[in-house]
Amino acid sequence: MRKRTLLDGLLAGCLSLAVLWAASRATTDVPFAPVALAERAIRAAPGGLATFSIEQLGHSAVRLLTVGAIAALLAIAALLAHVTARPGTARPWLAGGLLAAAFAAALAIGPQSVAWAPALIGCAAAGSVYALALGWLAGNPAGVAVGGDDAPSVTRRQALARIGAGAVAFAVGGTLLGRLVARRGPNTEIALHRPEQAAEVPIRAPFPTVAGISPEVTAVADHYVVDIDIDDPVVQASSWELRVSGEVGHPMVLSFDELQSRFAIVEQYSVLTCVSNEVGGDLVGNSRWAGVRLADVLHGAGIGARAVDVVFGCADGYTVGVPVERVMQPYALLAISQNGQPLAQEHGFP
C-alpha cells in the first residue's frame, strides 16, 4: 500500500509540474519552481565548488542541478501523498494544498523578484491538478468508472498511463506555446541614441586573415555567455529604471530614455574575458560597445568623498561591488548596445 501511495503521488506530481511548466512558458509572470530552487542553489554554492562544476561539467552542471531540483519536488509530491493519507483514506486536497505551498516557498527563496498574484494562481492551479489526479488514482484501486453503470472502467494501469501522457502533453505543449507566443524574451525593438563619440580605431594594417583565427570583432551571436541564471529575467526597456543612491548628494532614478538623453553616449571597442578562460579558450570576445560613462552618472548624482565601492543590484538578484577608482575610469560604461544593436537578453538587455 505504501509503495502504491508513493507512486500515486509521484505520477500526480509529474502532471502538476508539467502544468506549472506550461504556465511558465506561456507567461513570464509564473516562474517554474524547480528553476527558482536551482538558481538559489547556484548562488549559495561556494565559489570553489561552482568553479569546479563549471570546469568539469560546463553548461551541463546547470542542467543537472535543475534536474535535481525537479527530482526533489517530485519526491515531496510522493511523500505528501503518503503522509497525508489516513488508513484506507486518501486526502488529496490536503496534499495538493501542501504541494502548492511548497511551490510557492520555492519561488519565495528564489533570487529573482516574483509577481505574486499570477504566481500564486499558477501554484494553486498546479496543486489542484495534483489533488485531482491523486484523488482519481486513490479513489478506486480496481478501476475508475467512466460514464454510466454499464460503461467500461479504466484500469489502474490505464489511469497511470493517461496521467503520464497528460504530463508529457503539458510539458511539450507548454514549450511549443512559449515559442509560439514568444513571451519569454523582452521587446528589443527600441530606439538608441547615436553616439556622440564614435569608437576610435588606430591607424594600422588590416587585421590578418588566418584560417582558424577568430574575427577581430566578435559577432553578438558568437560572443561567449557565462550565466548564473537558468531563465534570464525578462526586463522591458519601458519599465527599466536605474536607481543611484547611497553616498551621493543627489539620488537619481533614470528611465532608459532619460539615461540616454541626460548623458553623452560614447562608443568603444572592449575585450571581455571570463575569469575562468584558459589560454586559447573561447570565453573571450571583442565587440563595439556603446553606452554612458559610469563616471558621468556618478558625478551627476554627486558621489561623495567617503564612497568606497559602487554596488550593482541586478534584476536577477545578483549583486557585485566594484571599487570607485575602477568605475571612474573612462573605459567603464553602462552599455546599452553591442555592435550597433540593442543588447541581447543574455547580455543584460536593456
Look at residue 281 in the predicted model and tell me its pLDDT: 83
Q: Cell numbers 502538476 correspond to what residue?
A: 16
The residue among 113, 137, 80, 144 whose CA lies nearest residue 318 is 113
Cβ–Cβ < 8 Å for 101, 81:
no
Cβ–Cβ < 8 Å for 123, 100:
yes
**Which residues of the chain are modeled with pLDDT < 70?**
1, 51, 54-55, 58-59, 88, 139-156, 177-184
Q: Cell numbers 488514482 correspond to what residue?
A: 137
The residue among 60, 29, 15 whose CA lies nearest residue 173 is 15
Look at residue 144 in the predicted model and tell me its pLDDT: 37
Q: How far is CA 283 from CA 109, 131, 255, in A?
A: 31, 47, 32
Look at residue 4 in the predicted model and tell me its pLDDT: 82
Query: 153 — phi, psi (to 5°)?
Result: -95, 160
Cβ–Cβ < 8 Å for 36, 113:
no
Dist. CA 107–CA 123, nearest whole Å: 10
Extended beta strands in 44-203, E state: 144-145, 153-154
List pLDDT tens digits, range 182-237.
Answer: 556 788 889 999 998 888 887 888 888 887 778 889 999 999 988 878 888 889 99
Measure the CA dihedral 17/19/21/25, to 10°: -170
**Rounded to the nearest 5 degrees, what angle is found at the Cα of 291, between the Cα atoms of 287 and 293?**
115
Dist. CA 254–CA 155, nearest whole Å: 62
Look at residue 327 in the predicted model and tell me its pLDDT: 95
Dist. CA 178–CA 25, nearest whole Å: 4
**Rounded to the nearest 5 degrees, what angle is found at the Cα of 166, between the Cα atoms of 161 and 171?**
130
Look at residue 154 in the predicted model and tell me its pLDDT: 56
Cβ–Cβ < 8 Å for 320, 166:
no
* Count of beta carbons in the 10 Å neighbourhood of residue 81: 30
Question: Would you say the pTM of this structure is higher than 0.75?
Answer: no
Q: Which residues contact 207 (CB under 8 A, 6 or more apart)?
A: 215, 216
Q: Cell numbers 503539458 correspond to what residue?
A: 170
SS3 of residue 147 by DSSP: coil
Cβ–Cβ < 8 Å for 14, 209:
no
Query: 255 — phi, psi (to 5°)?
Result: -80, 175
Dist. CA 301–CA 244, nearest whole Å: 7
